[in-house]
Amino acid sequence: MNIQKNLRTAFFILAIFAGLVACSDKTIEESDAGGDAQSAQTAGDKKYLAPRSETSISGEIHIAADETFQPIIRSMIDTYQNKYPQAIIHVHYMSGEEAIQAMVENDSIRMVIATRQLADDEEASLKAQGTSGKTQKLATDAIALVINKTNKDSVFTLDQLKGILAGEITSWKQINKNSPLGEIQLFFDKPGSSTYQYLRDSLLKGQSPVGFFPDTTNKSRKIPAGLAGVRAEVLSRPNAIGVIGLAWISDSDSQRAVGFKKDMVVCKIENPYASKNCRSYGVAFQPYQGLMKLKCYPLNRSVYAISRETRKGLVGGGFINFMIRPETGQRLILKAGLVPAFGVPRIVQFPN
């Protein structure tokens, strides 16, 4: 099949779930209302009943979460609390590493949502406290690269990306000798973020990437300050590349996500390790659900729920079960543009 024809082909991602049971007829809608990403979030202005005791559908708990997944987590919690008004879930958003440490060091944090599993020393710390970490994969996420709309160089090879991260490629003319731009400026949301650590560990094998961090002094934003800073830098600098989590731009029903993609260009990345199945969709790929599922897009990462519970209460028996069920939490993950751990998306092509 002609590559140029495929590159003009529009991708529409439809989703089917195999083996769904008791599928709800109700449409699950995500609220796109804002909340301060730097503070604990409960349920906005909704009124919930005071829990009498903790069960799988009642009680009051605190969890920590990687802030790159804030849109999805907010949707999960709103939907769960609307269904079970005696369940009150407080979520504290921070970097993924901070979230894991919060759970390991503070027994009031009952669960964490992050992009890695616990290390041996973290497991040992929990065992010393008389508990252990129970890990459940929720989804596959991706790292997205975004650039200014005036920049025409939106396709990178994996080696070029490694060179930019390592500081070996510093000019746009090393990407395209005819580029009118000068220095490449790479922006991450903040030091220690899961996006920064993913590129460090997966592409540079532990070497720290060369890049910049935006000003994050404005704490009143309704999105994480680091993410807002990356967006602002990309919008104002034609020579900038921003590194963000896919969840902030992948939900086509979210006004915020649509606005992000309207303002910036999501880059394509060539994957030399892609399977033959990927070649019918081109040689460079954006982070679409189907292409992530086929492993065509190379910057994928897993999302985990890790609990320190020793009993089946609101965390283990309730909220985690809600998140992994195909007809509830997995449907929300699918709708948000990520790849569910339970449920298989498929690609359907339509001519342009």
Q: Where are the domains of the chain?
A: 28-140+302-347, 141-293
pLDDT of residue 106: 87
Find residue 233's DSSP bridge partners: none
Q: Where are the beta strands (DSSP E) in the chain?
A: 10-16, 40-41, 59-66, 87-94, 109-114, 134-148, 155-156, 185-187, 240-245, 264-266, 268-270, 284-285, 300-307, 339-340, 344-350
Average pLDDT over residues 14-32: 33
**Binning pLDDT at 50, 70 and 90, where does residue 214 land?**
confident
Helix residue ranges, H only, the chain: 3-7, 70-83, 96-105, 120-128, 158-166, 194-202, 225-236, 255-263, 289-293, 320-324, 329-335
Average pLDDT over residues 80-101: 93
8-state DSSP, 8? T
Give me the chain's average pLDDT, please: 81
One fold for both 28-140+302-347 and 141-293? yes
Q: Which of 153, 37, 244, 96 is nearest to 232 (CA)?
A: 244
**Binning pLDDT at 50, 70 and 90, where does residue 161 land?**
very high
Q: Does the model's pTM come out above 0.85?
A: no
Per residue in 321-346, pLDDT (tens digit) is 999 999 999 999 999 999 999 875 55
pLDDT of residue 310: 76
pLDDT of residue 261: 76
Distance CA 231, CA 244 (A): 9
CATH level 2 (architecture), domain 28-140+302-347 = 3-Layer(aba) Sandwich (3.40)
- Measured torsion, CA atoms of residues 10, 11, 14, 18, in degrees rounded to the nearest 10: 140
**Binning pLDDT at 50, 70 and 90, where does residue 22 land?**
very low
pLDDT of residue 334: 92
Q: Does domain 141-293 have CATH number 3.30.1370.60?
A: no
pLDDT at 263 exceeding the cut of 60? yes
Average pLDDT over residues 274-302: 90
pLDDT of residue 4: 40
8-state DSSP, 9? S
